[in-house]
């Protein structure tokens, strides 16, 4: 009887969650934004030399109260790699494709490396590093890119299919990236940690264990794995200049790229594409997705301590401008989309604006604007920003700006 009742409850749980989700009515009216005061990232700091200690304070606070700190079980993990297949010439000789497998906490993390044809140990290329949502095989249509064996969302039997080769190529302009002198390293995020509330029983957590309330949840774990991939690039990939790696991410993976860039200063440039709540947007504005909604719908993304700020944003001793400020003085680019009101484009811009004083204290121009720009009118300073036409996506326009910005700062 007890097992029968449990089965009924399990069957009804998704319906309850759907019903609760339907109760959520997002606010998109600027006139309904509550009054709020933002924490000052530079509180107590008057000189550039004081920022390093203050940055550590913010890093510890956001780690403990939002993303989760990396426990000792993570730091003891050994990382090893092997080349899965010989280099393959692609794009009519303009590039090379290399498959890499990184062994990390019991998981095989597949990395697809796209290298400019002329990249070498003598002339290493700068690179973009980022997760993809649908498997490396979806980024570029090549039969030699292995299909992932990891959990895959929104797929039959949660498995990858050969019919999806190249299906996400519109988000990954490999040819444009290579011909502009950059390499690209991309990884399927499900290889590291499946994007589902499974009690942290799968992916690297199967070996590392369930996190405590203040320890790294999925976003922090994805970010940690990006740093381990950078370790391998530093030690083994001579064709990439490891001092010139830009970390890139879209949506939840944009949140990941921001935390990776904040927590690992080796990333030379950080790009957030439509990252919204928990990413670049200010939580106190309560427009579109909110802390309450995101922690309810995706409880595995942030550490359990972050739940305390659901419908309680004013109690947060931080907001997401402090996340952006921790990247200073390294170049940072934040991008929004006009139709992506869920991610609060204005809130993303305001985070850049309120992070800018840290950049200026450290001797850079920061964000060279005080008002959100017109659509498709990008701003390129030490902090870059644009809002483009269209929806929640990664487009050619976005990459046009990222490549231009990276050329300005990384000198390929």
* Cα 115 to Cα 152: distance, rounded to the nearest angstrom: 27
pLDDT given for residue 6 in this prediction: 36
HSE of 61 in the Cβ direction (CA atoms, 13 Å)?
A: 16
> Which range is least confidently modeled, 16-20, 137-141, 166-170?
16-20
Does the pLDDT at position 275 exceed 50?
A: yes
DSSP lists the bridge partners of residue 245 as 127
Report the percentage of the chain scoring pLDDT > 70.
94
Question: What is the distance of C-alpha 152 from the center of its chain?
Answer: 18
Q: Band of the pLDDT at 5, cuts 50, 70, 90?
A: very low
Phi-psi region of 392 (alpha: psi -120 to 50; beta: other; left: phi over 0): beta
Each residue of 176-207: pLDDT tens digit?
999 999 999 999 999 999 999 999 999 999 99
For 328-375, how does the pLDDT look when each residue is reduced to its tens digit (9 = 90+)?
999 999 999 999 999 999 999 999 999 999 999 999 999 999 999 999
Residue 156's pLDDT is what? 67
Instruction: Give the chain's mean pLDDT.
Output: 93
Q: How far apart are CA 109 and CA 143, in angstroms?
A: 18
Q: CATH assignment of 43-410, given 3.30.530.20, 3.50.50.100, 3.40.50.1820, 3.40.980.10?
A: 3.40.50.1820
Mean pLDDT for the stretch of residues 116-132:
98
**What's the token pair of residue 179?**
């011909």
Question: Exposed, middle or buried by CB within 10 Å (0-12, 13-18, 19+), for 87?
Answer: middle
- For the chain, report the end-to-end CA distance as a whole number of angstroms: 67
pLDDT confidence band for 236 (50 / 70 / 90): very high
As given in the structure block, the two tokens for residue 255 are: 């949140």
Peptide bond into 329 cis (omega under 30): yes
Would you state the pLDDT for residue 154? 73
Residues 278-317 pLDDT 10s:
999 999 999 999 999 999 999 999 999 999 999 999 999 9
Instruction: For tokens 């140990």, name the residue.
Output: 121
Q: How far is CA 262 from CA 49, 258, 367, in A?
A: 18, 6, 18
Looking at residue 19, what is its pLDDT? 44
At 22 the pLDDT is: 56
Rounded CA separation 214/212 (Å) = 5
CA-CA distance, 267 to 125, in Å (whole number)?
15
pLDDT at site 157: 75
Buried b (16+ CB within 10 A) or exposed e, 322-355: bbbbbbbbbbbbbbbbeebbbbbbbbbbbbbbbb
pLDDT given at position 24: 83
User: 79 forms bridges with which residues in the sheet?
Assistant: 104
Asked whether residue 14 carries a pLDDT value surpassing 70, the answer given is no
pLDDT value of residue 8? 39
* pLDDT band of 271, cuts 50, 70, 90: very high
Say if residue 9's pLDDT is above 70: no
pTM: 0.94
* Residue carrying structure tokens 């990884």: 187
Question: pLDDT-derived band of residue 225, with 50, 70 and 90 as boundaries?
Answer: very high
By the 8 A CB rule, do 401 and 271 touch? no
Domain ranges of the chain: 43-410
Closest CA to 152 of 110, 186, 192, 194: 194
Q: Show which residues are catalytic.
A: 251, 392
Low-confidence winner among 60-69, 70-79, 344-353 (lowest mean pLDDT): 70-79
Q: What is the DSSP string of 332-373?
A: EEEEEETT-GGG-HHHHHHHHHHHHHHHHHTTS---S-SSPP
Q: Is the pLDDT of residue 11 over 50?
A: no
pLDDT score recorded for residue 405: 98
Q: Please tell me what DSSP assigns to residue 63.
A: I
**What pLDDT is attached to residue 300?**
98
The C-alpha atoms of residue 162 and residue 157 are separated, in whole angstroms, by 14
Residues 6+ apart with CB under 8 A from 400: none
């Amino acid at each position: 009887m007890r097992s029968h009742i449990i089965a009924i409850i399990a069957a009804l749980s998704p319906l309850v969650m759907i019903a609760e989700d339907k109760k959520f009515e997002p606010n998109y009216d600027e006139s309904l934004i509550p009054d709020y005061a933002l924490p000052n990232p530079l509180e107590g700091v008057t000189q550039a030399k004081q920022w390093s200690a203050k940055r550590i304070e913010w890093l510890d606070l956001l780690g403990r109260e939002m993303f989760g700190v990396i426990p000792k079980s993570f730091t003891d993990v050994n990382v090893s790699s092997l080349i899965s297949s010989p280099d393959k010439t692609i794009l009519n000789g303009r590039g090379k494709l290399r498959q890499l497998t990184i062994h990390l906490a019991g998981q095989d993390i597949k990395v697809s490396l796209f290298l400019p044809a002329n990249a070498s140990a003598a002339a290493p290329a700068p690179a973009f590093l980022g997760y993809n949502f649908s498997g490396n095989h979806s980024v570029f249509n090549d039969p030699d890119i292995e299909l992932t064996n990891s959990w895959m969302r929104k797929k039959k039997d949660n498995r990858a299919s050969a019919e999806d080769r190249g299906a996400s190529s519109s988000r990954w302009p490999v040819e444009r990236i290579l011909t502009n002198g950059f390499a690209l390293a991309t990884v399927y995020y499900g290889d590291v940690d499946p994007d589902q509330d499974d009690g942290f029983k799968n992916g690297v957590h199967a070996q590392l264990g369930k996190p405590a309330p203040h320890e790294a949840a999925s976003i922090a774990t994805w970010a940690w794995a990006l740093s381990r991939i950078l370790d391998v690039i530093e030690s083994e990939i001579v064709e990439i200049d490891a001092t010139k790696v830009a970390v890139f991410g879209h949506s939840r993976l944009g949140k990941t790229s921001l935390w990776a860039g904040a927590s690992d200063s080796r990333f030379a440039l950080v790009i957030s594409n439509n990252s919204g709540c928990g990413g670049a947007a200010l939580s106190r504005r309560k427009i579109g997705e909110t802390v309450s909604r995101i922690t309810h719908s995706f409880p595995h993304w942030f550490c359990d301590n972050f739940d305390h700020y659901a419908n309680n944003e004013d109690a947060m001793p931080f907001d997401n401008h402090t996340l952006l400020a921790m990247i200073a003085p390294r170049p940072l680019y934040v991008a929004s989309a006009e139709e992506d009101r869920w991610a609060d484009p204005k809130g993303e811009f305001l985070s850049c604006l309120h992070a800018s004083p840290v950049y200026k204290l450290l001797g850079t121009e920061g964000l060279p604007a005080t008002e959100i720009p017109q659509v498709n009118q990008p701003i390129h300073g030490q902090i870059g920003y644009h809002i483009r036409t269209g929806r929640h996506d990664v487009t050619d326009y976005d990459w046009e700006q990222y490549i231009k910005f990276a050329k300005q700062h990384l000198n390929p």
